[in-house]
Structure 1
Amino acid sequence: MAAPREDGLKYERVLNALRSRIADGTYPPGMMLPSQSRLVAEFDVSRPTVIEALRLLRQEGLIESQTGRGSFVRGKVPTLSLERAYPGQRLLDLAESESLAELLQAGIIVAPTRVTTLLELPAGSKAFLRQYVLSDEDGPVELVSAWFPIDLVTGTKLTSPEPMDEGIRRHLYGRKRLRLDYAVERTLARSATADEAQVLKVPAGAPVLNLVVTGHDADGRALQLVDAVLPGDRHELRDAYPLT
């Protein structure tokens, strides 16, 4: 029987050491890992060995690599599954300019109770709302309301009447260096309000899916909220997962 490859043992040693440091808090959420050169020197291994260990950490959801900057510890580790779609992530990454998006409003208004609660704002607070409707060749398919604390939109293009050419997550990082580390997603079925029915061109009281996703930083602070309303007869929820 062939002996185990030495390179394999080395990358496992690096992988296990970094994984342990993340687990015990030596490398806390948001911290940048040592550079590849420093890891090469510390573990006395080749650069490809370090690169493979980092690749596996990314695959496990423990770190995130940013081009030109390095690798950072993630605040939350997602649960992996065989096949999984995250509708909320699509909303955070959606560029309005790449879809048939019609901007309905962009401004400061008094936020509903659900919005202030999820964004952890005082009751009755004002927040910034960017609202648009997405359509396809058959008509409206989604009403999206993106809410932000007022101080967060300063210096961004969120107030612009023009379609955004990049998703919320990328834009916030590019303009404010605010990184959304994880999302909390909620989905419920209900009846459309009169205003929603008018925008989505469905009968009043028609069934809709309501997807609410909050984006959080590594400290758990909610930086934004996206509330999407989808006609129930034009969408389905699908997931695949192992049975244990």
Structure 2
Amino acid sequence: MYKYHDIYSDIKRDILTNHYRAGTLLPTQDFFAKKYDVSRITLKKALNLLENEGLIFSKQGSGTYVRKQIDNDSSDLLPLDLPIGTTYSHRDQKISSTILHFDARLADKKEQEKLGIEASSPVYEFKRVRSINDQLYSYEHVVMPVYIAPLDEKILQGSVYDYLGTKAKLQLTDAHRTIYAEEASNQASKALQIEEGSPVLVIEQVAYDQKGRSFEFSKSVFKSSQSKFILDVHMSSDRISL
């Protein structure tokens, strides 16, 4: 593993645990270069990963800042344009998980295609309900190749992405998301305590790590009252024409 990935993971952990708080100025590059005993070129690679993930941003002549979190209103979903999860998007709030199902099995054809694995490759399957400030937030159905890292129910109680970053040195860098509405299934309705057939919003996701491997195929279901998104659209100046 490259040194800059370790630095990236270390600073990211400090951001997610509020050691470096949202909206505040990060320490200087000289500080980090001395702390990790690396060149500024190596450090810059780590900072670029953090910036690409939407955790930090730079202001010319001012420095590098920790990006402010999403609106504290727990009805807001994670931003659609950034490959992040609930732990980051609501990191100042109480997040808990209720495990409904956890097992290992062989992947079906659709899962094999999405995850780029062979029919003989085992996968973990887990279903859980995420709550924010003790309020039901989402119902997740996740399939993940066993070779990525060992999982258990204790790990699933917290942030799986943080665990994978520590255990497998794996970071979520890209995600392909499909968003659609449907009627709540029997399982989803029970998990979210709504009537079966109620309108729900679904985010189906294939997540990719820093090596370009697909390591997660998931479906997250949200009540219609929580169908609120945040999407920032940027256009570079060289692409703007009159």
Q: TM-score, normalised by structure 1?
A: 0.57
Counterparts of 1:78-117 in structure 2, within 5 Å, are 85-86=79-80, 89-91=84-86, 98-117=94-113
CA 1:217 to 1:100, structure 2 compared with 1: closer, same or farther past 3 Å? Answer: closer
User: Counterpart of 1:89 in structure 2: which amino acid?
Assistant: I
Any stretches of 5+ residues in structure 2 without a counterpart?
A: 5-28, 34-38, 58-66, 71-78
- Equivalent pairs counted in the alignment come to 182
In 1, Cα distance between equivalents of 2:173 and 2:188: 31
Shift of 1:117: 2.2
CA 1:141 to 1:78, structure 2 compared with 1: closer, same or farther past 3 Å? Answer: closer
CA 1:121 to 1:100, structure 2 compared with 1: closer, same or farther past 3 Å? Answer: same
Any stretches of 5+ residues in structure 1 without a counterpart?
A: 1-29, 34-46, 66-72
Structure showing greater Rg: 1
CA 1:215 to 1:206, structure 2 compared with 1: closer, same or farther past 3 Å? Answer: same
Match of 2:148 among 147, 152, 167: 152
In 2, Cα distance between equivalents of 1:190 and 1:234: 14
Shift of 1:193: 1.8
Shift of 1:224: 2.1
In 1, Cα distance between equivalents of 2:31 and 2:226: 48
Residue of structure 2 equivalent to 1:120: 116
Residue of structure 2 equivalent to 1:199: 191
User: Counterpart of 2:153 in structure 1: which amino acid?
Assistant: S
In 2, Cα distance between equivalents of 1:138 and 1:151: 33
Residue of structure 2 equivalent to 1:170: 162
Shift of 1:173: 2.3
CA 1:162 to 1:150, structure 2 compared with 1: closer, same or farther past 3 Å? Answer: closer
1:64 aligns with 2:46: yes
Shift of 1:210: 1.1
CA contact (8 A) 2:96 2:134 kept: no
List 4+ stretches of structure 1 deviating above 6 A: none
Shift of 1:230: 0.7
Larger mean Cα displacement after TM superposition, 225-234 or 106-115: 106-115
SS in 1 for 2:166: helix
Match of 1:225 among 217, 223, 226: 217
CA 1:77 to 1:240, structure 2 compared with 1: closer, same or farther past 3 Å? Answer: closer
User: Counterpart of 2:115 in structure 1: which amino acid?
Assistant: L
Residue of structure 1 equivalent to 2:126: 130
Larger mean Cα displacement after TM superposition, 187-196 or 138-147: 138-147
Counterparts of 1:12-27 in structure 2, within 5 Å, are none
1:179 aligns with 2:171: yes
